[in-house]
Each structure stands twice: as C-alpha cells, then as structure tokens.
C-alpha cells in the first residue's frame, strides 16, 4: 500500500558506463588478438540497473551514486532520465572518474569484467544518501555491497539504521567480495535489512556451507523479513523463515548475456513487494524481469515493462497474489 511519498524507492550503489564485446574467445590472453562478434556500450552498475528496472516496472525511483564530471557520467544520466529515473541525488566530483569497465561476453553468454581502480564508486559514502532523499522515499535498495570501499561495513550499517529510523523498508544486494571481508561488510546492515537475496556463490561463502537449509538457518539469526538465494539457471529459493518457496527460471536455452540479470531479479522482486504481492508472486515478477535482460546484450537496455512481465507470467500460467498483511 502506497503512502504518498515522492519516490517508491531509492537505489544506491555503483554506476558505470559499460563497453561490452560479445562472442569473445576465452583464449584471448594466449594469442595476440581476436575478432569479437559484436560491440555495445551502455549504462550499467548495480544501482543504475536496479533503478532502470524498477522505473520500467512502474515505480517512481531516485538513484544515489558517485560519478565524475565527465562524458561517461553524462551518458549514464541520459539513459537514467530516459527511463524516468530521478538523477538529482547523484554526487559528482572533479576528483574522480566515472567507472567505465570493459565487459567481455564469451560464447556461453558469461561475462568477464575488466575494471580500473579509483573510480567514483570507490568514494561513495553513507552521507551521499541524504536524509532529504530518504524522507521522500518508501524504500531503500542498496545494490552493491562488497564493492563500495568507503561504505561497506560500519557506514553501511549506519545507512540502513537511518533508513529504518525514517520509516523506510530496506533491501540489500551484494557482489563478490574480492577483499575477503564478507560478513564484516554487511553484518551491521543486516540488523536493519528487510530483504536480502544473494547469489548461491555469495550465500555459501557467507554461511560457510553449500547446503541451502544451513544457509537459511545461518541468516535466520538476523531480523530479515525475507531471505533468498539466487540459483542461476535453477531459479531462486526464497523464505520468510516460516515457509520456503522455490521459483524456476522462466528463461529457456542459452542466455544472450547474463550481465545485469541478478540486478533485474532483485529489482523485480522489490517492485512486486512494494506493489503489495506475496513472496512467491514477487519471485515470479523478479524472474520475469530477469528474463527480459537475459535475452539481449547489455545490463539494462532490454529491461521490460510491467506489462511485459505480466504477459510473460500469463504465458507461463503463473497467477499473482497479494499479501495478506495489506
């Protein structure tokens, strides 16, 4: 049920301008050069992907990120505004560069990302998500735990506590932690987090187990309303710690590009939750949104609308149900 806020959600985290080469050979580094099948450039980054997906699903969304005063930043903001996302709360600085990774997509559709250090994402801090924007929103989605050097850990916990104290619901998405801190990055945030659905790889490292029951038991010690595990081609497992729900993938065959699929899923799940649907329905909406991204190159360019998601679910004879707590 809506409560007349300006924004349904604030998406915070990394923003990038991505350059993708598709159909790249895995033996690239053993030869002097290859011919890629295709070239593509577009906005990306977890917060940008989440914001664009949520906006296309009919939510009013603002994005908080750290970028430079450069051409990649202009390109990213152009695509955000085109999708209807409010960019007023993006932080710009002359002292940083907008992250501009190169993404190599192999013949199986799997991505391999080349990043550079000291971009704007590395300087994104808790205070860049102001009380001003939080007071205008119903929900905070932090899209990029483990890759925000200046935010992960204590700062992330402070941000989530602030959001809860201001009456927002919260969700957290994570990336692979190459620094090896894992729980140290997110533990304090989980104390004020409502929805957390990491990938199986991430969840198994957090919980030190590859058994889904043990992983769920590990996270049950936090006051999460919803916990889940993204299982890739096997779909997703989601629980409220009372019941466990499983949703298979709606995408059949080899994906064109997996970039942004996880971001699309959680955006769809959160959109469903904010629209008042129950857990299985939210998982279905997330799967439908992920489907829209998997079928084309790029992290968010093919992100579907609410109508697209509903048509896909109807084709698969999936019926949505509202939550009983509304």
pLDDT tens sequence across 200-259 = 999 999 999 999 999 999 999 999 999 999 998 899 999 999 999 999 999 988 888 777
**What is the pTM (predicted TM-score) of this model?**
0.93
Which tokens sit at 11?
């998406």
**CA 82 – CA 120 distance, rounded (Å):** 22
Count of CB atoms situated within 10 Å of the CB of 12: 31
Residue 52: helix, strand or coil by DSSP?
helix
- Average pLDDT of each block of 10 consecutive residues along the chain (326 residues)? 83 95 87 88 95 98 97 97 98 95 85 84 97 98 95 98 98 94 97 97 97 98 98 94 95 83 96 98 97 88 95 97 80
Contact 305, 56 (CB under 8 A): yes
Report the percentage of the chain scoring pLDDT > 70. 98
pLDDT tens sequence across 280-312 = 999 999 999 999 999 888 789 899 999 999 999
Helix axis angle, 279-294 to 306-315, nearest 10°: 100
């Amino acid at each position: 049920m809506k409560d007349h806020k300006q924004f349904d959600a604030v998406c915070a985290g990394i923003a990038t301008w991505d350059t993708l080469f598709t159909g790249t050979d895995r033996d690239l580094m053993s030869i002097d050069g290859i011919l890629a099948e295709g070239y593509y450039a577009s906005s990306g980054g977890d917060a940008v992907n989440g914001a664009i997906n949520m906006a296309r699903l009919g939510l009013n969304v603002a994005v908080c990120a750290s970028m430079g005063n450069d051409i990649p930043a202009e390109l990213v903001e152009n695509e955000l505004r085109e999708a209807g996302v409010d960019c007023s709360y993006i932080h710009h600085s002359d002292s940083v560069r907008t992250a501009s990774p190169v993404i190599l997509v192999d013949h199986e559709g799997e991505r391999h990302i080349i990043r550079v250090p000291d971009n704007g994402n590395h300087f994104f801090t808790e205070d860049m998500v102001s009380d001003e924007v939080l007071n205008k929103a119903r929900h905070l989605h932090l899209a990029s735990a483990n890759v925000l050097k200046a935010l992960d850990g204590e700062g992330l916990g402070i941000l989530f506590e602030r959001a809860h104290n201001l009456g927002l619901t919260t969700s957290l998405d994570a990336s692979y932690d190459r620094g090896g801190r894992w729980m140290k990055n997110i533990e304090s945030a989980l104390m004020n987090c409502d929805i957390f659905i990491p990938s199986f790889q991430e969840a198994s490292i957090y919980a030190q187990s590859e058994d889904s029951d043990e992983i769920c038991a590990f996270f049950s010690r936090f006051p999460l309303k919803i916990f889940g595990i993204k299982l890739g081609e096997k779909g997703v497992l989601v629980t409220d710690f009372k019941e466990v729900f499983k949703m298979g993938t709606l995408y059949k065959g080899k994906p064109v590009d997996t970039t942004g699929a996880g971001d699309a899923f959680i955006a769809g799940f959160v959109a469903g939750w904010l629209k008042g649907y129950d857990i299985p329905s939210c998982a279905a909406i997330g799967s439908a949104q992920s489907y829209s991204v998997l079928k084309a190159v790029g992290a968010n360019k093919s992100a579907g609308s609410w109508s697209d998601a509903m048509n896909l679910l109807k084709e698969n004879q999936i019926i949505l149900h509202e939550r009983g707590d509304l």
